[in-house]
Structure 1
Amino acid sequence: MPKVGMPDIRKPQLVKATMAVIERVGLHAASISLISREAGVSTGIINHYFGGKHGLLEETMRAILREHAQTVMTTLADYPLDAHKDRINAIVKANFSGYQARSEVAKTWIAFWSFSMHDPQLLRLQRINEKRLISHLLIELKPLLPKPLAQRVAQGIAALIDGFWLRGTLNQQGINTEEASFIISDYLEHQLAHAAQATQ
């Protein structure tokens, strides 16, 4: 965590520099020296306010999570509370558009994803993001499906989002947002239709 007193202008500057360096050389090669040079600050600034590379990585992940949460909430605000299918599709769209779709953000996400397996604090942040996604989906799915099925479909949609993210980030063309949204929407329609038939 950054220390109290860290100038607000410095944090986004350093987060941006961290993502740019990770995009260029990867997480393991993203040294404090490279990041400080990218940001135009001394290495002492990073060490003083963040306690080194790990603290800066944690702040970068938190910044990405905050931006993502804001994107989801802003997208959902365009739809009535009872438009559950539209709101699910909006949640999906928010995962593939805007800030999240930028190359440096996507590559940083993937880097953190793999790194979090060996880092308890980053894993905790990743779990928070995962639970937030499932929670958003369940709010919209529970009025449409029985609770056990709603939970299963929420997990299915989350897995599809993660899968398209992974494949798209590893692809030079990036994430095909239209294809991802169509396939996930099709999966949802099939689940809803299957549930409706089962109750007849």
Structure 2
Amino acid sequence: MPKVGMEPIRRKSLVEAAISAIHARGSLDITIRDIALRAGVSQGLAHHYFGSKDALIASAMRHLLTEYGRQVRREMKKAHDPRSRVSAIIHASLGSEQFRPETVSVWLVFYVHAQESDEAHALLSVYSRRLRSNLVHGLVPLAGERAHRIAEGIASLIDGLYIRKALGSLAGEIRAEQLVEDYVDRELEVRG
């Protein structure tokens, strides 16, 4: 008899094991068996809960996106005006929580995976749309009709600087968050 209430615990364990396996390998060149061993469950149970490695990988991606969303909401609770709302999103996107080694490895692999997987591409598209939408919401009162263009610039900087910082190619003394904040300030000065 299966233990009642174990499914969510095992699912979470398998998702975390998938993240760990991707980090350890640096790619999606892993098997459901590798993931199941890390989670301490049988390969059959992993298949039972997710059906395939691709479904488990998609769940790991959704998990990271959910964690990122939580971080954005935590930062937004501190925001008291439209400009601080924009800063909250920047901080959530480029703050230290997003740079845990496992998180970085998996995000970089997902960016590549999204080029060949419709589901991964769709998940990254949702992330991109939400990021721009949240930025536009904070920028409209500050920049009017230019809000969409500025939001696209901020989103591009966030994604690009995340990759550069993750790969260690951003000069040590340069803070990614500050570069984006400087861009926002310059763009808003143009309107003022």
TM over 0.5: yes
CA contact (8 A) 2:99 2:166 kept: no
Output aligned runs, 1:171-190, within 5 Å.
171=168, 179-190=175-186
Instruction: Name the SS for the 1:75 alignment partner.
Output: helix
Aligned length: 188
- The alpha carbon displacement at 1:178 in A equals 6.9
| d(CA) in 2 for partners of 1:26, 1:10 | 23
**Is 2:29 the counterpart of 1:29?**
yes
Percent identity over the alignment is: 32
Report the residue type matching 1:153 in the other structure: I
Could you say which residue in structure 2 is the equivalent of 1:95? 93
Normalising by the residue count of structure 2, what TM-score does the alignment of the two structures yield? 0.91
Worse-matched range after superposition: 25-34 or 10-19:
25-34
Normalising by the residue count of structure 1, what TM-score does the alignment of the two structures yield? 0.87
Worse-matched range after superposition: 161-170 or 130-139:
161-170
Cα separation, partners in 2 of 1:175 and 1:131, compared to 1, 3 Å: farther
| d(CA) in 2 for partners of 1:121, 1:21 | 20
- The alpha carbon displacement at 1:100 in A equals 2.1
Instruction: Name the SS for the 1:145 alignment partner.
Output: helix
- The alpha carbon displacement at 1:110 in A equals 1.1
Could you say which residue in structure 1 is the equivalent of 2:152? 155
Output the aligned Cα RMSD: 2.0
Could you say which residue in structure 2 is the equivalent of 1:119? 117
Q: Cα deviations across residues 149-186 of structure 1 (Å, max 9, x unaligned)?
A: 111110000000001111122228x9979711111010
Could you say which residue in structure 2 is the equivalent of 1:141? 139
CA contact (8 A) 1:79 1:87 kept: yes
Unaligned runs of 5+ in 2: none
- The alpha carbon displacement at 1:26 in A equals 2.2
